[in-house]
Amino acid sequence: MLLLECPYCKEARDEQEFSYAGEALIQRPALDCSDDEWGVYLFHRKNPKGIHLEQWSHALGCRKLFMVERSTIDNTIHAIRTFESLAADKQQAQGDEQ
């Protein structure tokens, strides 16, 4: 049973309060993409042995979703990020490039 630190409640909570919400950072392709591309988006998942980027929802707490970097080997939580902070990082990176 994992203990996850909700980045909004700022407190570690028991896994029972959360629900797993799938792999994180899946890019939704443009709708004029090929059937194959759409199929990959719908059904293909990484399932890595090692670090997995995944979404969790604090379903029975604050109901916010966030991203967890978890090792599928030993369940070590390497990082927890909010989507806001990821978006801010992305913007920052784009700004740096320009």
What are the residues binding another protein (CB under 8 A)? 1-3, 8-11, 13-14, 16-17, 19, 21, 28, 31, 33, 35, 38-39, 41-42, 55, 57, 59-65, 73-75, 83-84, 87
Question: Which CB atom, from 69 or from 83, has the smaller least distance to another protein?
Answer: 83
3-state secondary structure 32-90: CCCHHHHHHHHHCCCCCCCEEEEEEECCCCCCCEEEEEEECCCCCEEEEECHHHHHHHH
Least distance CB 7 / another protein (angstroms): 10
